[in-house]
Amino acid sequence: MGRPRRPRRVFAQLLLSQTVVTVAVTAVTAGLFLAPVSAELDRDAMQRALSIAQVTATDPAVARAAADRDAATAQDIAERIRRASHAEFVVVTDDRGIRLSHTDPTRIGLPVSTDPGPALHGESVTAIQDGTLGRTARGKVPLRLADGRIVGEVSVGLSDDSIRGRLVSMAGGILLCAGAGLAVGLAATLALAHRLKRRTHNIAIADIAALLIEREAMLHGIREGMLALDAAGRIRLANDEALRLLALPEECTGRTVDDLLPPGRLADVLTGRVEGADLPAVRDDRVLVVNRMATADGGAVTTLRDRTELESLVRELDHTRGLTEALRAQDHEHANRMHTLLGLLELGRHDQAAAFISEQSGTQAARAARIGRHVQDPHAAALLAGKAAVAEERGIRLAVTPDSHLPDTLLDARALVTVLGNLVDNAMDAAPGGTVEVRLRTAGTTLLAEVADSGPGIPPELCERVFEEGWTSKDAPAHRPRGLGLALVRRLVERTGGRLAVGTGPLGGARFTVELPEALRTAGPLPEHLLEHA
């Protein structure tokens, strides 16, 4: 088996690819520059050959030698001109194309190797042609007597070696410049590769793909929401849980938080306008705990934890603890009543004992019956009965107003229980030893609920702040933060298209008014025992 190949590092791949690209670009650039230079040298050589031929044709002695077919004179003049001009050859022909001069004397008297026709017909010709002396740049002109009669042609050739020699001498400078550019490019590539090596911690290319796959699997597999923002507040990354918790569209990448979320505490926490650790926030009916950590590039990574179920369990625990305390107090009171009853029996006051039993047993039933007369929905009636028992043990009078009426036609009893339970709890906290009144009415399929207390009330400047997540006027218990109940109520009411308002009630304290449209299946008739309050 061969040795396993070492994984190619990012900087090495960049160095290799950039080196190949730099060399290729330099070579192509040099070639593109040399190509027109070569063509220009060819044109210059042909023009020079034509000029030598034209000067030669102006000599009358050459024209007379061609007319007389005097090869000796023509050879002598042509060789003299060839040596003076450093041409490859100077050939003089008669009007039939027969050589009268040539660099090789043995070829005198033979026809020329290229077509003499155009020159013998009066045209001047330039070309790069292959002849008996190889590839040359040629210029051909007609040879005329004084009367203008064409008696031959003059053909001058410049060797290809001389042209290439000039090209090579020029190419040296061009290639030197190209080499300097190549050296600079390679140095820049090497510096960039070393910088990339430090930035990528010498990681292999194959590892990058593996890290990306692992990151995607980790981000979308964890049960916490993760949101990455850039310095401008645009979303760079949001995993599946973040999309679910924040109710964001899948194509949210590149958009800002303020564009996707309504104004409020949640948007302020995500964008960093509100800072802190384990900050509670509400999105629809979900209670979230948000932590935000800034990154070096000015952005931030935010984690989101869903505490909705935990918050519900904590509230249930609070209610259970309250009920337990109420039952403990009732047990103590029940023991006192039993002792009183036992004393009456021992004293032989049986009539008074019977009256005492009737009075005590009817109190709880009467309270439940009063609530049931006005609230026919079992969930809301049970909630208010339980709250009334807790209120009694806390020295608070909880009453349902005589004109209240709630039929058993609720579409979402759970939402009403959440709204009513939070409002009653806040009212009892605000009015220790005082009074809390609940008023439930219907208008068509719309439910109207009011909860008033005899507490100190809410100053006008705080009427909006009481609905903000995390804001509270009470000390928070150790097991959970406060400031979520009224925020959750507001979210539930707004989600159903309802309204929530706070003001001063008839008892002198705060009064919360809730309007829930389309909360009832049908608008039931008002019971007869309530008609007198209608």
The DSSP bridge partners found for residue 156 are 90, 139
- Residue 47's contacts (CB-CB under 8 Å, 6 or more residues apart) are 126, 139
Q: Which of 242, 251, 218 lies closest to 292, judged by CA? A: 242
Confidence of residue 8 (pLDDT cuts 50, 70, 90): low
Average pLDDT rounded to a whole number, residues 215-224: 67
SS3 491: helix
Fold held by 12-166: Beta-Lactamase (3.30.450)
SS3 58: coil
What would the two tokens of residue 36 be?
Answer: 């027109």
pTM of the model: 0.43
CATH 3.30.450.20 residue ranges of the chain are 12-166, 207-306
Q: Which of 140, 131, 136 lies closest to 112, judged by CA? A: 131
Is the pLDDT confidence value at 470 over 60?
Answer: no
Least confident of 84-93, 148-157, 299-308, 348-357: 348-357
The DSSP output letter for 481 is -
- Strands 446-453 and 435-443, by their bridges, are antiparallel
Q: Which of 511, 402, 410, 500 lies closest to 451, judged by CA? A: 511
> What CATH number is given for 207-306 in this structure?
3.30.450.20
SS3 159: strand
Please give the single-letter amino acid code of residue 333. Answer: E
Cα–Cα distance measured from residue 84 to residue 59, given in angstroms and rounded to the nearest whole number: 15
> What's the pLDDT tens digit per position in 183-203?
777 777 777 767 766 666 666
Any alpha helices (H) in 347-444, and if so which ranges?
Answer: 350-374, 378-393, 413-430
In this prediction, residue 453 carries a pLDDT of: 92
Query: What would you measure as the largest C-alpha separation in the chain, in angstroms?
Result: 179
The DSSP bridge partners found for residue 499 are 515
In this prediction, residue 527 carries a pLDDT of: 54
Cα–Cα distance measured from residue 114 to residue 91, given in angstroms and rounded to the nearest whole number: 12
In this prediction, residue 346 carries a pLDDT of: 77
Least confident of 56-60, 213-217, 308-312, 399-403: 308-312
The DSSP output letter for 49 is H
Confidence of residue 450 (pLDDT cuts 50, 70, 90): very high
- Using CA atoms, how far residue 236 sits from 226, 253, 305, in Å, is 11, 6, 19
The DSSP bridge partners found for residue 506 are none
Confidence of residue 15 (pLDDT cuts 50, 70, 90): low
Is the pLDDT confidence value at 340 over 50?
Answer: yes
Contact 152, 66 (CB under 8 A): yes
CATH 3.30.565.10 residue ranges of the chain are 374-533
SS3 232: coil
Token pair 């290319």 is found at 205
Cα–Cα distance measured from residue 105 to residue 385, given in angstroms and rounded to the nearest whole number: 136
Contact 138, 155 (CB under 8 A): yes
- Residue 40's contacts (CB-CB under 8 Å, 6 or more residues apart) are none
In this prediction, residue 531 carries a pLDDT of: 46
Cα–Cα distance measured from residue 265 to residue 288, given in angstroms and rounded to the nearest whole number: 11
- Phi, psi (5° rounding) for residue 381? -65, -45
Burial of 502 (0-12, 13-18, 19+ CB in 10 A): buried
- Phi, psi (5° rounding) for residue 148? 90, 0
Average pLDDT rounded to a whole number, residues 303-314: 67
Is the pLDDT confidence value at 339 over 80?
Answer: no
Fold held by 374-533: Heat Shock Protein 90 (3.30.565)
Contact 469, 458 (CB under 8 A): no
Contact 222, 306 (CB under 8 A): no
Is the pLDDT confidence value at 441 over 70?
Answer: yes
Contact 142, 123 (CB under 8 A): yes
Q: Which of 306, 263, 274, 315 lies closest to 288, judged by CA? A: 306
Cα–Cα distance measured from residue 46 to residue 136, given in angstroms and rounded to the nearest whole number: 9
